[in-house]
Amino acid sequence: MREEPFSPFKLSVVLVGNALMRVAGSAGSFLVGVYIAELVRQGRAFDALLVGTLSAVSFGAELVGALPMGALSDAKTPRVLMVGGALLGAVSTQLFNLGNGAIAIFFLSRALEGMAVAATTPSVLAYLTNATDGNEKLRGKAMSFFELSLLGGLAFGGLVAGGLWNWLRGGAFSAVAVLYVLTAILFGVSGGGGKPTSVENVLAGLKSAVADPFLRRLAPAWLCVNAMVGLWLGSTLPFLLTLKERKEQYITGLFADEPDQVGVVFLVYAIVFAVGVTAWSFIIHRFPRTFVMRVTLVALFGACAGLYVLNHSQSFSATARVAVIGATALAVMVESGFTPAALALLADAVGAQTGRGATMGIYSVLLSVAALTGSLLAGFAGKQLAIDGLIFVTVGLAALAFVTVSFLHEPRGLPPRNLSKPL
């Protein structure tokens, strides 16, 4: 089989496709909650426990499927898994609306959706690693825009789903399925993303990744930072923001009378984070990855300090509060560079070895474990100390990540960076 050459256009198509996939996934999850709430209004005996369990089923399927799907992308090329995952997402979303409220269909749909994510995330990362091989500047930008695609899902998925639900009701699931199909088309024109390899080579690459001491040293920091995703971007924060009991904290219960404003908060956060990631994408290649990671973790401490001050700003003037918010936003912009730097470092470490997809599958598994752990930590800390609890846990995770990053060194064999190059 002749491998199709990479091109900037095809790389851009994959990044756009991944962003569309994330929007579709976020919109589908939003519709699940809205649809079940509508069934409750019609007299069905469903509750929040069902919704939470369905989310856990999706995460669990992603956790179980990421590693074998990553290995399969090595054996079949990333494009096959990317297209297959997008089509599976379309099937899972459409299936949810066709079950007429059957719980078994709900669970099957969410499991398929989790497998769709498991198929696409490692394969997209493997594609980006292959496409940027030998080009550090392009790799830094590609990983930054990969992170932006995740933010796109967070920022726009709920907005898209809300509009579709108001317009189409149950037909909104079909509209989201169309988004998945469009994603599959984009992935289909992207090129193979690498040469197929034998099962023996896939297993050898997987064994090499598991045994690599550098990758094992990177794992703790990766776990800590991704646990923050579950900590802050799960259901606990919206709950605390809309809690009637204020607990003597400014942020806790801030939107108790305006719960619709929580979505605006998430959108603003996504925009601030996206600005930071975009800025990093133009300069991240000029610095050692580990240096960037340490700088962003220091900024994370600053963001936590800003949030803590804001959460106890009841006596502040409006001007002082705006100043705190502005300083915190700047810290968030700086901290946004951690994941792109870590992904670029991971791609550097994987290098030219076989089993890139399997290696990315390992780190997709770690991401899922971290997000689940962060969600549990958020529930415990939020119950005890509300927003302050989330901040304290974040500081602890950041401290642990900083210590583990201190033991990291750039992978051997990388060419020295020429810091005198123009941007």
Question: What tens digit of pLDDT does each residue of 380-405 get?
Answer: 888 889 899 999 999 999 999 999 99
211-405 matches 8-196 in CATH topology: yes
Choices 2.60.220, 1.10.10, 1.10.287, 1.20.1250: CATH for 211-405: 1.20.1250
**What region, left, alpha or beta, does residue 194 occupy, with left being phi > 0 and alpha being psi -120 to 50 degrees?**
left
DSSP state of 354: S
- Domain 8-196 sits in which CATH superfamily? MFS general substrate transporter like domains (1.20.1250.20)
DSSP 185-234: HHHHTS--SS----HHHHHHHHHHHHH-HHHHHHHHHHHHHHHHHHHHHS
Q: Rg of the chain's alpha carbons, rounded to an integer?
A: 21
pLDDT in tens, 341-371: 988 887 776 654 556 676 777 777 887 788 7
pTM as predicted: 0.75
Distance CA 63, CA 230 (A): 14
What is the residue-wise DSSP string for 312-339? Answer: T-TT--HHHHHHHHHHHHHHHHHHTTHH
What DSSP character marks residue 406?
T
Domain spans, the chain: 8-196, 211-405
pLDDT (tens digit, 9 = 90+) per residue, 245-287?
Answer: 766 899 988 988 876 677 678 788 888 998 999 999 899 988 9
Helices (H), 234-355: 236-241, 261-283, 289-311, 318-335, 338-350
Q: Each residue of 24-56: pLDDT tens digit? A: 988 888 788 888 878 887 888 887 677 767 877
